[in-house]
Amino acid sequence: MARTCEITGKSTQIGGRYSNRTRATQFNPTGKVRRKANLQKRRIFVPEIGKTLLVDVSVKGLKTIKKNGAYATLKKAGVI
């Protein structure tokens, strides 16, 4: 299974590198690069159900949990 955030759904993105040599020539020696999401494994305590859940979440997802509350955010994402 691919590494994705359980709250926001963020996963890896494929992009291109850009070198300074490209500005001087028409030849682009760089290739594709895989940019990974900033994922963290966090134990989040949900007081409404009295349990601690282990969640693979991005940092933006953590900010969402802090803003909206753990129970509401995890329920909306379908984790609970």
- The CATH number covering residue 66 comes to 2.30.170.40
6 is a domain residue:
no
| pLDDT band of 77, cuts 50, 70, 90 | very high
The domain total for the chain is 1
Give the number of other Cβ atoms within 10 Å of residue 7's Cβ: 23
What is the maximum alpha-carbon separation in the chain? 61
Residue 19 pLDDT = 66
On whether the CB atoms of residues 30 and 20 are closer than 8 A, the answer is no
Averaged pLDDT, 63-72: 96
Match 């009295």 to its residue by tokens.
50
Q: Quick check: 57 pLDDT over 90?
A: yes
8 is a domain residue:
no
| Gyration radius of the chain over CA positions | 18
69 is a domain residue:
yes
Q: Quick check: 27 pLDDT over 70?
A: no
79 or 24: which carries more pLDDT confidence?
79
